Amino acid sequence: MPFRVKILLVLVVAAMAVVAGMLARQALQPGPEAVPDASVPEYRPAFSMRDIDGDMREISEWDGQVVLLNFWATWCPPCREEIPLLIEAREQLHDQGLEVIGVAADDIDAVRAFARELDIPYPLLVHPATSLEIARAYGESLGALPYSVLYDRDGRILATHSGEMDRQQLQAFLSDAFDDVLIQHKPD
């Protein structure tokens, strides 16, 4: 085989590898998933878990509200980055019926300390072993955090999101339940 043909063949294979990598990266890009997805149930599964005060809580306590269920952990940098934005969303939409509920796959003492540090105003449920199992029941199939689920007042799942959300993504995510969502950044 002539040298030029070998070079051309190597360049073609390299180009194909680059394109395949770009397509794979794009396919794995986290973002809102259209519901229904085969792994996402139509309605929120029931579960109970202890909150950071040690009280047993049922997810059904928040029936009648729009719920953004956020699976996270203190050891997860994207989770930590996303939480201030979730706090802002809750503050701005709570009067319209939004409740954010954090489900931590973590140690309760670490979650308590982090909640105090950020003054997290929404309920935090904690169980290191079952949190990820519950996330799977809500359609999380990658084993990654954060993972968010939005469901309506009747418990019907509207949207899911794998990975950290930025302000625009969160606004789009919440627009499935609220009109004209504009999450304003509150200055410190």
86 and 132 assigned to the same domain: yes
What's phi and psi for 120, nearest 5 deg?
Answer: -70, 120
Most confident among 20-24, 46-50, 184-188 (mean pLDDT): 46-50
Whether 2 is in a domain gets the answer: yes
Asked whether residue 18 falls in the same domain as residue 101, the answer is no
**Are residues 155 and 68 part of one domain?**
yes
What would the pLDDT profile of 164-183 be if each residue is shown by its tens digit? 999 999 989 998 788 765 65
Same domain? 23 vs 110: no
The full length of the chain comes to 188
pLDDT in tens, 71-113: 999 999 999 999 999 999 999 999 999 999 999 999 999 999 9
Number of domains composing the chain = 2
In a domain, 182, yes or no: no
| Region of residue 163 (phi > 0: left; psi between -120 and 50: alpha; otherwise: beta) | left
**Are 105 and 69 contained in the same domain?**
yes
Are 76 and 163 in a shared domain?
A: yes
Based on the fold, state whether residues 46 and 136 are members of the same structural domain. Answer: yes
Are both 38 and 22 inside the same structural domain?
Answer: no
pLDDT digits 0-9 by tens, 136-149: 999 998 888 999 99
On the question of a cis peptide bond just before residue 36, with omega within 30 degrees of 0, the verdict is: yes
| Phi, then psi, of 69 in degrees rounded to 5 | -95, 120
Q: How confident is the model at residue 142, as a pLDDT?
A: 87
Domain assignment of residue 166, given as a range: 31-174
In this structure, what are the phi and psi dihedrals at residue 180, rounded to the nearest 5 degrees?
A: 50, 55
Residue 16 domain-assigned (yes or no): yes
**Is residue 187 situated within a structural domain?**
no
Mean pLDDT for all residues in the chain: 82
pLDDT digits (tens, 9 = 90+) for 35-64: 445 588 899 999 999 999 999 999 999 999
Domain co-membership, 4 together with 97: no
